[in-house]
Amino acid sequence: MILCTPHADGLVCQKKVKDGWNEIKKRCSREFPDLELGLGCEIYLTPEYLDDCVELLEKGVLLPLNGSKNVLVEFPQTGIPFEDIRTCVVHLTERGWIPVIAHAERYAKSYRGIEDIHWLKEHGCRIQVNIYSIKEDISEKRRILVQEMLSEKLVDFLGTDAHRMDHRPPKVYKGIQELIRMAGVEYAKQIAFENASTPSFEAAQ
């Protein structure tokens, strides 16, 4: 499954999102009939927004991933204290949501070490990294961090962080090749394809 995740603030233009989603589904069903798509959004989260975020999720204004209990969240990249990330994670999980940490390698300024990624996993989070970060990220620190996460099998999903074809287009080939070289074909298949197709991503009833 490929999950399409516009920024949450884009949902104020719900007609535009809905029209774009319908167009993508129509084109994919015609050109790639076996491709499964799901819709969600990427939520910018800090402790100050927590209560509003949960309320909007429960009202269906903010979209979890494919209607499931998985919620894609991102944090400020300017060095938010890890304690604030912990607060957000605990609050979401206590309300029954599963945080999926978007481009987890970008919060290198917040982590005290790889043990913080282990803490996230142990407390119910799923970890997503941008596939281009494996090989092509301009930040050496982020490249090293994502490679460390992969070597310890901490990554659950891959993202492209694609915005449009002329700005951050989806670049995957070099990242996939490096992933296979580093971690092997089976783990690459798992995080690139299989994990997003598990029953936990089926729409909640």
CATH code of the domain in which 34 resides? 3.20.20.140
pTM listed for this prediction: 0.92
Token pair listed for 198: 């598990």
Instruction: List pLDDT tens digits, range 38-95.
Output: 999 999 999 999 999 999 999 988 999 999 999 999 999 888 999 999 999 999 999 9
Token pair listed for 20: 């774009």
Asked whether the beta carbons of 40 and 102 are under 8 A apart, the reply is: no
What is the pLDDT, as a whole number, of residue 12? 56
Place of tokens 């913080």: 116
Compute the distance between CA of residue 69 and CA of residue 26 in angstroms, rounded to an integer. Answer: 26
| Mean local confidence (pLDDT), 109-128 | 95
| Structural domain harbouring 90 | 2-201
Instruction: List pLDDT tens digits, range 147-176.
Output: 999 999 999 999 988 877 776 777 788 888
| Mean local confidence (pLDDT), 2-23 | 80
What is the separation of C-alpha 119 from the centre of its chain, rounded to a whole number of angstroms? 17
Compute the radius of gyration of the chain from its Cα atoms: 17
Report how many domains make up the chain: 1
